Amino acid sequence: MHNPLLKKLASVDRLTEAEEQAAMALCHDVHAIARRKDIVSEGSSPDCIHIILDGWAVRYNVLPDGSRRITAFLLPGDFCDIHATVLKIMDHGIIALTDCKVAFVPPEQIDRIAGSTPSLARAFWRSTLIDEAILRRWLVKGGRGDAFEAVGHLLGELYVRARLVGLTSDHSLEMPLTQEEIGDATGLTPVHVNRVLKRLREAGLATVKGGTLRINDINALRRESGFDPNYLHLSVYDSRP
Amino acid sequence: MHNPLLKKLASVDRLTEAEEQAAMALCHDVHAIARRKDIVSEGSSPDCIHIILDGWAVRYNVLPDGSRRITAFLLPGDFCDIHATVLKIMDHGIIALTDCKVAFVPPEQIDRIAGSTPSLARAFWRSTLIDEAILRRWLVKGGRGDAFEAVGHLLGELYVRARLVGLTSDHSLEMPLTQEEIGDATGLTPVHVNRVLKRLREAGLATVKGGTLRINDINALRRESGFDPNYLHLSVYDSRP
DNA sequence: CGTGCGATTGATTGTCTTCAATAATGGTGG
DNA sequence: CCACCATTATTGAAGACAATCAATCGCACG
* pLDDT digit string, tens, across residues B85-141: 889 899 999 999 999 999 999 999 998 998 888 889 889 999 999 999 999 999 999
DSSP of B32-70: EE-TT-EEE-TT---SSEEEEEES-EEEEEE-TTS-EEE
User: Would you state the pLDDT for residue A70?
Assistant: 97
Q: What percent of chain A has pLDDT over 70?
A: 97
Mutate to test the interface with A, among B91, B196, B222 (most CBs of A within 10 A): B91
pLDDT greater than 90 at residue A144 = no
pLDDT on residue B235: 64
pLDDT at B240: 45
Q: Which of B61, B63, B60, B83 is nearest to B73 (CA)?
A: B60
SS (H, E, C) A117-172: CHHHHHHHHHHHHHHHHHHHHHHHHHCCCCHHHHHHHHHHHHHHHHHHCCCEECCE
Whether this prediction's pTM lies above 0.95 is answered by no
For A66, which DSSP code? Answer: S
Distance CA A43, CA A28 (A): 27
Residue B74 has pLDDT above 90, yes or no: yes
Q: In chain A, what residues touch B126 (CB-CB under 8 Å)? A: 86-87
Distance A37 CA to C3 C1' (A): 24
List CB contacts of A157: < 8 A, sequence separation 6 or more.
Answer: A134, A137, A227, A229, A232
Structure confidence at residue A1 (pLDDT): 66
B14-66 pLDDT per residue, tens: 889 999 999 999 999 999 999 999 999 999 999 999 999 999 999 999 998 88
pLDDT at A128: 93
pLDDT at res. B222: 93
Comparing CA positions, the residue from A210, A211, A214, A208 lying closest to residue A241 is A214
Residue B70 has pLDDT above 80, yes or no: yes
Torsion of CA B83, B11, B26, B89, to 10 degrees: 10
Nucleotide closest to residue B210 (CA–C1'): C25
Structural domains of chain A ordered from first start: 4-129 (2.60.120.10), 143-232 (1.10.10.10)
User: Tens digits of per-residue pLDDT, B163-220?
Assistant: 999 999 999 999 999 999 999 999 999 999 999 999 999 999 999 998 999 999 999 9
Q: Is the CB of B31 under 7 A from strand D?
A: no
Q: pLDDT-derived band of residue A33, with 50, 70 and 90 as boundaries? A: very high
